[in-house]
C-alpha cells in the first residue's frame, strides 16, 4: 500500500493484489453466515426413520424417531417395545447411538426394507440361558444394556450387511452366517 497526501487529505492507493485479497475476504465473510444458517435450517428439517420387523412376535414398526433436531420420546418407546425381550416381556431403553448407527447402515444400503430383529434387548435371565446353551453369546452382552441388536435385512446378503456395518466404525460387528444374522453394537470398535 502506498499512503500519500493530496492537499490536506490522506489517500491510500491499493495495489491490485491487495484489492483482490480484500475482495475475496469480504466475499468469504459475507457468505459464511448465510451458509451456516442454511445448514442449520436444513439440519433442523432432517428426519430419521427406521423400519423393524420382529421375527419372533410378528410385530412391525415404521416410524420417524428423530425430527427437528430431537429424538421423539413416544417413538423411542415404540422402538423399545418392538426390541424388547419377548421371552420375559421386559423392556429396556435402546441406546439412541444404536438407532443412529442402524439409520446410517440403512441409508448406505439405499433400501426401503425393514430390519428383521433376531435379538434386541435381552434381560439377564435370557442372556444367561443363551450363554450357557448356545455359542457366541457374551456373558456380559451389550444386549442387556440396550446397546446391541442382531439383524437381517431382506434383499441383502449378510456379507454385504456386515461390510456396510463394519464400514461405519460405530462399534462391534459380528458375522453369523450359520444363524443368518449380523450382530451390531455400540461398544468398542471390533469385528468378528
Where in the chain are the domains?
2-45, 47-191
Concatenated DSSP letters for 141-181?
A: -GGGGT-EEEEE-TTS-HHHHHHHHHHHTSSEEEEETTTTE
Residue 56, Ramachandran bin (φ over 0: left; ψ between -120 and 50: alpha; else beta): alpha
26: exposed, middle or buried (C-beta count within 10 Å: 0-12, 13-18, 19+)? exposed
Question: Residues 6 or more apart from 45 whose CB is under 8 A from it?
Answer: 68
Cα dihedral sign, 90-120-130-86: positive
pTM summary value: 0.77
pLDDT, position 42: 46
Q: What is the pLDDT of residue 62?
A: 98
Paired strand residues for 67: 47, 70
Residues in the chain where the model's pLDDT stays below 70: 1-45
Measured between alpha carbons, how far is 60 from 145 in angstroms, rounded to an integer?
A: 22
pLDDT of residue 48: 98
Give me the pLDDT at residue 135, please: 86
Please give the C-alpha separations between residue 52 and each of 28, 100, 141, 159, 190, in angstroms, as whole numbers: 45, 14, 22, 20, 25
Cβ neighbours of residue 118 closer than 8 Å, sequence gap 6 or more: 55, 150, 151, 152, 179, 180, 181
pLDDT value of position 22: 55
Phi and psi at residue 184, to the nearest 5°: -135, 130
What pLDDT, on a 0 to 100 scale, did the predictor assign at position 136?
86
pLDDT of residue 13: 56
Task: List, in order, residues 6 or more apart from 81 with CB less than 8 Å away.
Answer: 91
Instruction: Provide the sign of the torsion angle of the four alpha carbons 28, 33, 39, 41, taken in this order.
Output: negative
Per-residue pLDDT, 19: 53
User: CATH for 47-191, among 3.20.20.120, 2.40.128.110, 3.30.1380.10, 3.10.150.10?
Assistant: 3.30.1380.10
**Calpha distance 41→63 (Å, rounded):** 22
Amino acid at each position: 500500500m502506498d499512503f500519500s497526501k493530496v492537499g490536506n487529505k490522506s489517500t491510500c492507493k491499493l495495489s491490485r493484489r491487495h484489492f483482490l485479497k480484500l475482495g475475496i475476504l469480504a466475499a468469504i465473510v459475507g457468505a459464511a453466515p448465510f451458509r451456516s444458517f442454511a445448514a442449520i435450517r436444513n439440519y433442523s428439517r432432517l428426519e430419521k426413520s427406521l423400519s423393524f420387523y420382529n421375527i419372533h412376535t410378528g410385530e412391525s414398526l415404521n416410524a420417524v424417531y428423530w425430527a427437528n433436531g430431537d429424538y421423539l420420546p413416544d417413538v423411542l418407546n415404540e422402538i423399545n417395545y418392538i426390541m424388547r425381550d419377548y421371552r420375559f416381556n421386559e423392556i429396556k431403553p435402546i441406546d439412541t447411538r444404536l438407532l443412529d448407527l442402524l439409520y446410517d447402515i440403512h441409508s448406505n444400503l439405499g433400501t426401503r426394507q425393514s430390519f428383521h430383529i433376531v435379538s434386541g434387548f435381552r434381560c439377564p435371565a435370557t442372556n444367561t440361558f443363551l450363554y450357557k446353551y448356545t455359542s457366541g453369546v457374551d456373558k456380559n452382552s451389550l444386549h442387556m444394556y440396550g446397546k446391541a441388536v442382531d439383524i437381517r435385512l431382506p434383499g441383502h446378503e449378510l456379507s454385504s450387511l456386515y461390510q456396510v456395518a463394519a464400514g461405519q466404525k460405530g462399534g462391534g460387528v459380528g458375522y453369523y452366517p450359520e444363524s443368518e444374522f449380523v450382530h451390531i453394537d455400540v461398544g468398542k470398535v471390533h469385528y468378528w
